[in-house]
A and B are shown apart, each in its own frame.
Chain A
Amino acid sequence: MSAVTVEEADAIHPAQARMSPPSRFADKAFYWLTLSMAFAVVLLVILIGWQLGQGSWQAIQKFRFHFVATSTWDPVAEQYGALPFIYGTAISSLIALLIAVPLSIATAVYLTELAPLWIRQPIVSLIEMLAAIPSVILGLWGIFVMIPWLRDYPFPFLQRILGWTPFFSGPIYGPCMLAGGIIVAIMVLPIITSVSREILRSVPDLQREAAYALGATRWEVTRIAVLSYARKGLFGAVILGLGRALGETMAVTMVIGNTPQIAASLFKPGYTLASVIANEFTEATTDMYLQALFEIGLVLFGVTILINLLAQLLLKTITAGAAPDRVQ
């Protein structure tokens, strides 16, 4: 601009004269501020790995592979084998999925394909409310309502029908592996349902229309056009549910019995990786005890990370950009 006095500038361009020069510094500062906050997630992952690793280092060195292969957990005798907890986590999660997956996917199918429109949103809202129930409250209900009822009705029934198998044999105490599995099922129902719903909704209508055009019934359209197309995504939803099941802590701790043993019978109490940490962390009297618990945490962390990674990979292609672990 040619040399103009301030007054002249004000006269020619009063608005321009009053505006403050843009601050390149402010732009850059804001950029770096937000960037550093976003990269905090990277720091968090490193933090978790570092703390868990550091806290369990001596135990890792001492027990090496035996840690995950030994089934004796005896802190008094300084014996730390994590196998019972790995077994407990695996079995309770498996039971949970066996119960939850069919129900969730069927519900998702109902909500996206078969239900009358007016009923969809209310049901979805109710499922979201179920997801919002804190784990400890579900556990409270589990102890005082679910287990007594299970012990009185379904469990004896199961034992009568299937007691000849090793899975349903033996005395029924109440708190047991099966109860743990059931309560975890209740906890993962909402997330598997909601993610499956998103998957099914993302199936293009073209697929459905083509099937309808061929004269298929509603169910046939669902089976042929929608479910097979969505197979990969639904599998991802199941894996996501598995990830959630593996990490369930409070409700499981309150109903599973907390006994470190590997038994065939589902009526026997069990113990999970998360539960042993919850129960024994503050009781850990020796350093090695604490280290062993840190190592359990490391195992749990590693397993859930892997499962969640797998789930994200499966779901990435379907729901790009959405946060799949939010209940929709």
Chain B
Amino acid sequence: MTCHDAREQLSALIDDALGAAERGAVEEHLATCAECRRELERLRDTVALLRAVEPARAPAGFVDRVLEAARPKPWPRRLFRALLVPWPVKLPIEAAAIVLVAVGVVYVFRSTLEPARFYDAPPSGTTILSDTARPSSDASREAARPEATRALEATRAKETARTLEGGRPQEAVRAREAERAPEAAKAKERDRAPEKQALEKKSPEGPPAAKTTPAPEAFKEAGQQSKDADERRAKLDDTARDVAKRQANVPPAEPQVAGKLEESPARAERSQDAAGARARSLAGEPEPRTDTLQAPRAAAPAPAIASFVAPDVSGRLAVPDRDAALQTLARLLARLGGVEDRRFVGDEGPIVELTISREAYPELLRDLAALGRWQLVREAPALPEKVRVVLRITR
């Protein structure tokens, strides 16, 4: 064994960490090498110095501090740390999340609470169909429920109706567009406004044979305010109709939504009537007779404004007895093959909307003139095959 080899083993020799063979070889070399023996002694002294170093002692209170640090933190502090530490990373993420959620909430509320606004709008002039077309027991129950619930129901009913309609998604889309594009709706309303105003125009206690206001003048009287009111009512009727539809289990093909009122107002009306009829029969009320002009249609004011397309003809009939005139008109229509599409109750008296063939139209005019004082307000230059007539019956 060389000195170099022997010295490499000296530490292990001091620590008694050598195997018997290694130890023997090293000790054999040391016995013959004074230099390596001296080296061993100096190394032994160095180790002795090291081992003489006073052991370090942990500072006072160390144990308590460790135990304190190891104790579970109170939950608010842990929550705080979990949420905010490290704050340069977590705060911006959380802020972004809050903004996203807020935007989402606003979006959802704006789209779902739309119908609730309808109920907030006080019904003016015309009674809302939904309040009267429902069975009376249902109606009272409905009234007891909070508006928000009803609004939500209306939304759901609308969705259901849309689903049922299936084949007419474009109509649902149109309806929604009408709701969301007030400008477009206003434009439409403006087109329809004249007729509405002509029908709705309230002239309290007019003279028995009041001279009619020419239609264009009536249009002018229709201010922006009434236009807005009309819009609102149209929306209300839309929602209400859907509710009625749901309750009456109207077949999918039947329901109509607001956007397509121009297409078939009469059908929409009939579907409401069906709903109303069912409601009445459920409530134990006698089925109103629709063939009699005394039928209490006033009890169920139709959604007067809801369904306007310019009629081909409009006029006023001033009679001493309006009920009698209505009965006569019904007989007249039956004879001439005309159909009464709907009836409104205006302040001046009933307003009847009817359809009659072009051939029978002149005779209708003659008979009307015989009934009382008849004044033709408006007549389209070219009459279609089915002439739509709006008739205001006043005293």
Q: Do A and B come from one complex?
A: no
